[in-house]
Chains A and B, each alone.
Chain A
Amino acid sequence: MDTTEISLQDHPAQPGQQPSQPELLRLYERMLLIRRTEERLSADGAAGKLPGAVHLYIGEEAVAVGVSAHLSDRDYATSTHRGHGHYLAKGGDLNAMMAEIWGKREGICKGMGGSMHVADVSKGILGANGIVGAGFAIATGAAYGAKLDGDGKVAVCFFGDGASNQGVLMETLNVSTLWQLPVIFVCENNMFSEFTPSREVTAGRIADRARAFGMPAQEVDGNDVVDVWLAAREAVQRGRAGGGPSFIEARTYRIHGHFEAESFILAGNRYREDAEIDQWRARDPLDRARERLISCGVGAAALDDLDTRVLEQVGAAAAYAEAGQPADPELAATLMFAGQEA
């Protein structure tokens, strides 16, 4: 794969509108939190400590962070099976997420959802979702609610290039355009549809699918948090102002596998080359944000201190999760229905 072929033809960069240095630092810190959390999950998963599969977002952090920087708790977001990054970027509690992934009672979903389903409704995080493409319609419905409320809320739908081949994308592009709903479709094109390279299963340019409906669409460098941030700001502003839906395709790369234990099922088979992964590691979104910060005067030592603090936070969260209580096995029977009214 030609990893240098990232089209930025619709790049919105307008000098003078870049994020401020404190904002860039906040973006970097949030990306760091996601990265260090997932590195810990990778290690704990490999050590056999986690009960279920984990799908890691490593390498794609700039997308969730660059978009979510423009959102408040009142805004909605739907996420994917690769959802830790969206959850943390939108302000979900780290300890509660970690405990959830460990299957503990203290988990954000009380151990009933797990890694693929972390959700914090109080923060507008309507949930990671194990069904590829399920978020399209949920986000569109939430955006319908936001439009009826008429108070400037927006809904963001994070999805992958794999989900872009689900027919419901076309359905939601249609209805959200017709009804001018404040929804922002954010395609994280990480080049893989599970274990299949996207180019083998995806025709044309994904962003063109939105353009066919007359929806404003941008293709951005998903490994540059500033590029994502700029595009998302425009889209969110459009949604809040009643200007209808937007589409962002962020070109990025999934550094880890589809899920962490995949080597066991692949049994030695490969679906990509190490050289390709290395090429993308050289474009690491955290390294690039760090370079930007240093170039605008932030000291490397300060950034290293930040990293240390984040690592401590992650270590504390893992300890919290490990020390948590087992999930309540009787809970499932009580959670299917809220109390019925007569």
Chain B
Amino acid sequence: MARRRFIEAVHDALVEEMERDPKVVIYGEDVELSIMGDMRGLHDRFGHDRIRNSPICEATLTGMAVGLASAGYRPVLHMMFSNFIYTGMDAIANQMAKLRLMTGGQLELPITIIAGYGGGSANAAQHSDSSYPVLMNLGGINVLTPSAAADAKGLLKTAIRGRNPSFFLEPSGRGGDMGEIPDGDHLVPLGKASVLRDGEDVTVVAIGRMVKPALASADVLAERGITAEVIDPRTLVPFDEEAVLESVAKTGHLVVVDEARECCGAASQIAAMVAEKGFGLLRGPVRRVTTPNVAMPYAPNAEAHVIPGEPRITAAALALTGHRVRT
């Protein structure tokens, strides 16, 4: 085991996969300098053909990934902030998500797109979206939202080696979080959730950046005699339905914590899935704890007010299980 920061885990995954396969090529805005820190040193190590600064032109960068993958490469495109995905959306929504189907399976597009997401850093609305719901709705895109360093490394390596377009979304403000990373060729499969804490009373599914406040909430709930089972799905597409349903079968209650806005968010999808497939397991309504349908405000106190935090998660869990609270 090695103790590494989240961004170091991303860096290590990139180094290992670039060493493993000469077809892995990185490009994007400022990747040589790596303002996010996750690609620092790669340019010196792998040279200009393998990692290259691009102009600021997202519509072209995403489309080039389709062409480069069609030509037999494994492009890794860093888009900095997930809001910038919107500028590059045609090639994402109309091309990479659809071309495998549209060509009758002729094309495989092993594309990895990295972007940071979420608020909490006073970056204001155009740099703070949690953009995964729009990606989930496209159908042909893997959506990876690791919260821990080890998962970041293992999922990124799996994505780069894979055969499909994948978005690897880095939680804003969590790049410095430390974690233990298994030695060797550490791979994490897509579609396998991680149960971070066992519990009997309520299932808390927390996505990406929301894992940290969910675990804090579990601590608070434990003080009140309520044990929360905290699940990190790790990937939203594919999604580990079984893990969530199994947990709900045990607890009978579900809270989904999602930093994306409420309307049609990941939490909505998970709630609908459990309502359809696990209605009989539920002993109360599913609670979504999300950012409301607002753009992220700039001022830190206003930002903290809308992003789900421990108190709102705790309140949702208490509302479901409150009758069993020992006072």
Contacts and interface: CB of A to CB of B under 8 A. Distances in A.
B99 A127 contact: yes
B55 A127 contact: no
Contacts of A253: none
B60 A172 contact: yes
Given A110-B105, A137-B66, A341-B162, A145 B95 contact: no
Contact of A112 (B62, B70, B101, B108): B101
* Interface size class of chain B, counting residues whose CB lies under 8 Å from the partner chain: 35 or more
Contacts of B162: 338, 340-341
A31 interface: no
Contact of A140 (B67, B101, B158): B67
A187 interface: no
Interface in B44-66: 49, 52, 54-55, 57, 59-66
A107 B107 CA distance: 15
A326 to B, nearest CB: 14
Contact of A143 (B67, B91, B102): B67
A113 B57 contact: no
Contact of B59 (A108, A130, A148, A171): A171
B94 A131 contact: yes
Contacts of B75: 141
Interface in A316-332: 331-332
Interface in B166-196: 187, 189-191
B70 A175 contact: no
Interface string A99-115: 00000000111111100
Contacts of A138: 63-64, 66-67, 70, 91, 95
B67 A127 contact: no
Given A141-B64, A143-B67, A175-B60, A120 B106 contact: yes
B103 interface: yes
Contacts of B68: 141-142, 144-145
Given A140-B64, A171-B60, A341 B161 contact: yes
Given A127-B99, A136-B60, A175-B60, A141 B66 contact: yes
Contact of A168 (B63, B100, B163): B63
A200 interface: no
Contacts of B57: 168, 171, 174-175
B71 interface: yes
Contacts of B70: 76, 121, 126, 138, 141-142, 145
A109 B107 CA distance: 10
B327 to A, nearest CB: 47
A24 interface: no
Given A175-B60, A336-B139, A342-B187, A134 B103 contact: no
A115 B155 CA distance: 38
Interface in A296-332: 331-332
B227 interface: no
B47 to A, nearest CB: 11
Contact of B63 (A76, A110, A121, A134): A134
A137 B73 contact: no
A119 B101 contact: no
Interface string B199-232: 0000000000000000000000000000000000
Contacts of B163: 337-341
A146 interface: yes
Contact of B60 (A137, A337, A339): A137
Contacts of A110: 104-105
A109 B103 contact: yes
Contact of B100 (A140, A141, A336): A336
A274 interface: no
Contacts of A76: 67, 70-71
Contacts of A146: 71
B103 A119 contact: yes
B14 interface: no
A117 interface: yes
B240 interface: no
B71 A149 contact: yes
Contacts of B139: 336
A178 B55 contact: yes
B66 A117 contact: no
Nearest to A327: B104
B140 A337 contact: yes
A139 interface: yes
B191 A340 contact: yes
Nearest to B101: A335
A183 to B, nearest CB: 9
A112 B52 CA distance: 36
B130 interface: no
A329 B51 CA distance: 42
Contact of A119 (B61, B107, B140, B161): B107
A175 B94 CA distance: 22
A17 B142 CA distance: 51
Interface of A: 76, 78, 107-113, 117, 119-122, 126-127, 129-131, 134, 136-146, 148-149, 155, 167-168, 171-172, 174-175, 178-179, 331-332, 335-342
17 contacts: A109-B103, A119-B103, A127-B103, A134-B94, A137-B63, A137-B64, A137-B67, A138-B70, A140-B67, A141-B66, A141-B69, A155-B67, A336-B101, A338-B105, A339-B163, A341-B158, A342-B189
Given A113-B104, A142-B67, 13 more contacts: A119-B102, A126-B107, A131-B94, A137-B60, A137-B63, A138-B63, A145-B71, A148-B49, A174-B55, A335-B104, A335-B105, A337-B164, A342-B190
Interface of B: 25, 49, 52, 54-55, 57, 59-73, 75, 90-91, 94-95, 99-108, 139-140, 142, 158, 161-164, 187, 189-191, 238
